[in-house]
Structure 1
């Protein structure tokens, strides 16, 4: 069982989700510009009640994840505004590889938040003993690809292994970079 996680960067707090985050989370997962890049099982969330149900499921599942797996909210420390989400999870179909993924509200794009938050969670994951992390992105998702590169992730090729989609695959190991930690 995992205990609540809270990481801080210069501008951000990474913390566990709560169902009370539904309205703010809808601005992320309800935005078509975000949802179009999500995994097949996660589609555009249409309303606050549906978002609350998704968050409730995430909150219920969180204690059952073995660290460093989990899902977290990304909050702007200046004003407490929820601007994104992060997760570390085992990739299908074999659940052998850990995937790092991030989502931000469209109006928060272009400020380096995805890189900053991801660097913190990567640092924590490596402290927890994980040996490598992957990020996968559809070939036309230029923002995700650029973020993976800014994180110092190495492009390792293209595959249809995960999610039955053609994806670009990036990998990072503890020795690959000096990541930012809390």
Structure 2
């Protein structure tokens, strides 16, 4: 059972989602610039009611994840604005490999927030004994590829194994890069 989480970085708070996050979450998952890169199991969310349903499902599922897996909201500490989301989950189809993924509101891009939040969750996962994390990105998703590299992840190849879609695969191990949490 995954306990409630709140991590703090220099600029961000990473916390559990709530259904009340629906409007702010829609600015992330409803944005075409974000939705076009989501995995096939996550469709574009069109309105607040649909986002509320997605969040309800995430909140209900959270206690059932085996640590360190989960889904979390990313909040800017100074403004209190919800600017993104990230998750750590087992990749299909065999659920052997942990995937780290991140999504940010387009107006939050370019500030290093995805790297900062991803490093915090990776650090937590490594503290809990995870031996490696993967990130997958569509080949033309240059922002995701750049974030994976900034996290210290190395490219390991392309595959259609995950999500039945051609994806670039990146991996990080605890010894690959310094990852800090506060």
Which interval holds the TM-score relative to the shorter structure? Answer: over 0.9
Give 2:67's aligned residue: 67
Give 2:105's aligned residue: 105
Aligned ranges 1:150-165 → 2 under 5 Å: 150-165=150-165
Give 1:78's aligned residue: 78
User: How far 1:40 sits from its partner (Å)?
Assistant: 0.5
Q: CA RMSD in A?
A: 0.5
Q: Deviations over 1:33-64 (max 9, x none)?
A: 00000010111100001000000000000000
Give 1:49's aligned residue: 49
TM-score by length of 2: 0.99
Give 1:5's aligned residue: 5
Looking at structure 2, the residues matched to 125 and 91 of structure 1 have their Cα atoms a distance apart, in angstroms, of 15
Looking at structure 2, the residues matched to 165 and 42 of structure 1 have their Cα atoms a distance apart, in angstroms, of 13
Looking at structure 2, the residues matched to 23 and 86 of structure 1 have their Cα atoms a distance apart, in angstroms, of 17
User: How far 1:2 sits from its partner (Å)?
Assistant: 1.3
Looking at structure 2, the residues matched to 180 and 138 of structure 1 have their Cα atoms a distance apart, in angstroms, of 27
User: How far 1:180 sits from its partner (Å)?
Assistant: 1.7
Q: Deviations over 1:118-170 (max 9, x none)?
A: 00000001001111000000000000000000000010011110000110000
Looking at structure 2, the residues matched to 97 and 125 of structure 1 have their Cα atoms a distance apart, in angstroms, of 12
1:29 equivalent to 2:22? Answer no
Looking at structure 2, the residues matched to 67 and 82 of structure 1 have their Cα atoms a distance apart, in angstroms, of 23
Q: Deviations over 1:69-121 (max 9, x none)?
A: 00000000001100000000000010000000000000000000000000000
Give 1:121's aligned residue: 121
Looking at structure 1, the residues matched to 25 and 161 of structure 2 have their Cα atoms a distance apart, in angstroms, of 29
User: How far 1:24 sits from its partner (Å)?
Assistant: 0.1
List gaps (5 residues or longer) in structure 2.
Answer: none
User: Which ranges of 4 or more aligned residues in structure 1 deviate by more than 2 Å?
Assistant: none
Aligned partner of residue 171 in structure 1, secondary structure? strand
Looking at structure 1, the residues matched to 3 and 67 of structure 2 have their Cα atoms a distance apart, in angstroms, of 9
